[in-house]
Structure 1
Amino acid sequence: MFRVAVICLALSFSLLHAETDVEENDIDIEDESELRSKFEKFKVQYKKKYDQAEEEKRFQIFVENLKASKRMQEQDIGTAIYGITKFSDMSDEEFGAFYLNPVISNNNDPRPEEMLSADVAEQLTNVSLPSFVDWRKLGAVTRVKDQGLRCGSCWAFGSVANIESMWYIKTKKLRALSEQEILDCDFRSTGCHGGHPDNAFRAVIQLGGIMSEREYPYRGRNGHCAFKQSKAIAKIQTYRNIRPDEEEMKIWVAHSGPIVISMNATGLQGYRRGIIRPGAYACDNFRLNHVMLVVGYGTSRGYPYWIIKNSWGADWGEKGYFRIYRGEGACGINKLPITVVI
């Protein structure tokens, strides 16, 4: 099976709402005093404190990130707004090391045919789909969570979010489930060092279920497996790989529920809001480094988009979510879609 190991790390910061975010689109990057002023506002808003030597280093990185955000803004052909975020004092290398891990898989074997959703593909020419779907509005999505503390656990968060939503759709019971169980008990993956959604699903099947987040709380580090089957509150039957086709993905989201995707999330460092539509060559769609959950789709101002739940806290992006252009395989979003079957 073609697989890409994914590591995407997140740190916890206390932030204000998007309405009070530092504005940066009109910043003159040649004006040192203005840059210093924006940096001071950034530190207050995001509660940043440095020693004297670190302060100057972080200011220089802040300036470089403003320049990068301006380039992203110029290249993006959607409605996305880029600029100052809680990651603006992190270098590209730090962001990549702490949040992302662009790994090219050494295993390019095709997915097994028995896992392909050929039955769904046959419906493509006849199916009628709604123009807008948002499973949040139907009560099928838990709150946005935060990986925190430099643990590469996006694969666990995306997988658990999928189970939570599909369990609700099946039972009408929305339960916050345990990412830590996946980190500790999926022995095919490497916990905070990365993993695969299919392995997470296999672990839950083999364990006999998944415990609640409350009973098996997230610690953001690898630990010993403490799963207790008597306390499992959700189970899955199997999982299905979905064809790398956005029309089929749309069918699954519309008729079945949220699905897991992997994508190149490098450009999300400076994302604030809007619909991402990378310009040509701006986002390598083979460099998959982050796992998340598609919770819906729609169209705005002529731009078709996916709605994606991230795991960097509700203080990032559009209250923890973002939108990305639908129909062009943007940033590799169509490469590895997958979902559980309850």
Structure 2
Amino acid sequence: MACLSQTLIILALTSSSLGAPRDNLQQRWEEWKVKYGRRYSDLGEEEERRGAWQANMGLVEAHNKRRQAGFSLEMNQFADQILQQRHPVFPALQPRTAARADDTEAFQAPPPSFDWRSKGVISAVKNQGTIGSADAVAAAECMESWNAIKTGQMLNTSYQEIADCCRAHNDTVFDCVHNIGGVCSEKDYPALTGQCRNNTCHPGLQIQGGKRLPPRRPDLMITALLQRPLMVYVDASHVTFQLYGGGVYSDPNCSTERVDHALQLVGYGQKEGQKYWICKNSWSSRWGMDGYIWIRRGSDECAIESYVSYPY
């Protein structure tokens, strides 16, 4: 939702509009602050944050009462922010190498559902925090999973290194990792330097590069996904995405061209006739469904089927 629209909601909103007495609303605010460890610099900042929180509460409750969207919203760690569109990313981030025909040869009968988490090759949900580089996190997770599938060993790689060394690189993220000789383990790479220091540690994981899938081919995505998790880019700029709580996500305002966020695609399924992709986010396990989101499958929802790649 645009900043102006939400500002108008904040101005119009009162505790009675939420159907809650002022003291009950105050209690909910205090409990939310404790839950997410919020402390503000002064009373002015707290009042501003509470205004955003109260507006978002109105949006969440109105959405959840409708029960028609197929997914729910919740008052998560972003609820005290004026949520607005993020800056788009235009994936010159796709690997130059396209998947070969034998990589994407369709199985005769893929299973109705699949989830790599049941195979023990998906690392714990991360919180990208101050790095602000979701594609570095998603790329590291895909490489970790690919290595675990091949070797049976899960290595926690340094997504800080990928952010430092590949953020402004001319190559794509997987090609960049190959060109710098691989990626070090998380414990070996110095944290928060802001500069590429890959010469200070020995790479623990190496890849040959990356491959991309043709856009809007969910059938080929399933074929590739049955071999390894995938990296996808999405439009996550909407308040419904940022306050997502559970269910099969879709938003008619989502773009299929402009994307601003990266996820690890770990599986797919179907619920009550709704097909979905299972995606791992990097906003901590307190967001969504323990850090995961189901996104509607087969309609290129939020561009999830347009920018798909994987390491090899």
Give the TM-score normalised by structure 2.
Answer: 0.84
Alignment match, 2:31:
41
Quick check: 1:188–1:199 contact (8 Å CA) kept in 2? no
Q: Distance in 1 between matches of 2:233 and 2:126?
A: 18
Quick check: 1:261–1:292 contact (8 Å CA) kept in 2? yes
1:86 offset after TM fit, Å? Answer: 0.8
1:56 offset after TM fit, Å? Answer: 1.4
Q: Are residues 1:223 and 2:195 paired? A: yes
Identify the structure with bigger relative contact order (alpha carbons < 8 Å, sequence gap 6+): 1
Q: Distance in 2 between matches of 1:268 and 1:251?
A: 27
Quick check: 1:153–1:183 contact (8 Å CA) kept in 2? yes
Aligned residues with identical type, % of pairs: 29
1:203 maps to which of 173, 176, 182: 176
- Look up the SS of the partner of 1:69 in the other structure: helix
2:161 maps to which of 181, 187, 195: 181
Q: Are residues 1:212 and 2:203 paired? A: no
- Look up the SS of the partner of 1:293 in the other structure: strand
- Letter of the 1:186 partner, please give it: C
How far does the alpha carbon of each residue in 1:291-321 deviate from its partner, in whole angstroms, 9 at most, with x for none? 1100111112222111111111112111111
- Look up the SS of the partner of 1:306 in the other structure: strand
1:289 offset after TM fit, Å? Answer: 0.5
Q: Are residues 1:141 and 2:122 paired? A: yes
Distance 1:217 1:73, change over 3 A: farther
Distance 1:140 1:288, change over 3 A: same
- Look up the SS of the partner of 1:136 in the other structure: helix
1:242 maps to which of 202, 213, 216: 213
Alignment match, 1:16:
none
Alignment match, 1:168:
148
1:80 maps to which of 49, 58, 71: 71
2:87 maps to which of 90, 93, 101: 101
1:316 maps to which of 287, 295, 304: 287
Q: Distance in 1 between matches of 2:235 and 2:17?
A: 30
Alignment match, 1:6:
none
Q: What count of residue pairs does the alignment treat as equivalent? A: 292
Q: Are residues 1:128 and 2:99 paired? A: no
Quick check: 1:211–1:227 contact (8 Å CA) kept in 2? no
- Look up the SS of the partner of 2:264 in the other structure: strand
- Look up the SS of the partner of 2:27 in the other structure: helix
Distance 1:59 1:32, change over 3 A: farther
Quick check: 2:177–2:209 contact (8 Å CA) kept in 1? no
Distance 1:135 1:218, change over 3 A: farther
Alignment match, 1:29:
18
The root-mean-square deviation of aligned C-alpha atoms, in Å, is: 2.7
Quick check: 2:184–2:198 contact (8 Å CA) kept in 1? no
Alignment match, 2:234:
263
2:54 maps to which of 42, 46, 63: 63
Give the TM-score normalised by structure 1.
Answer: 0.77
Q: Distance in 1 between matches of 2:296 and 2:273?
A: 10
- Letter of the 2:292 partner, please give it: Y
Long gaps (5+) in structure 2? 1-15
1:77 offset after TM fit, Å? Answer: 4.8
Quick check: 1:78–1:303 contact (8 Å CA) kept in 2? no
Quick check: 1:304–1:326 contact (8 Å CA) kept in 2? yes
Quick check: 1:76–1:277 contact (8 Å CA) kept in 2? no
Distance 1:104 1:240, change over 3 A: closer
Runs of 4+ in 1 over 4 A off after TM superposition: 70-78
1:78 offset after TM fit, Å? Answer: 4.8
1:338 maps to which of 304, 309, 312: 309
How far does the alpha carbon of each residue in 1:142-172 deviate from its partner, in whole angstroms, 9 at most, with x for none? 11111112x3210100100010000111111
Q: Distance in 2 between matches of 1:164 and 1:78?
A: 34
Quick check: 2:116–2:266 contact (8 Å CA) kept in 1? yes
Q: Distance in 2 between matches of 1:243 and 1:156?
A: 22
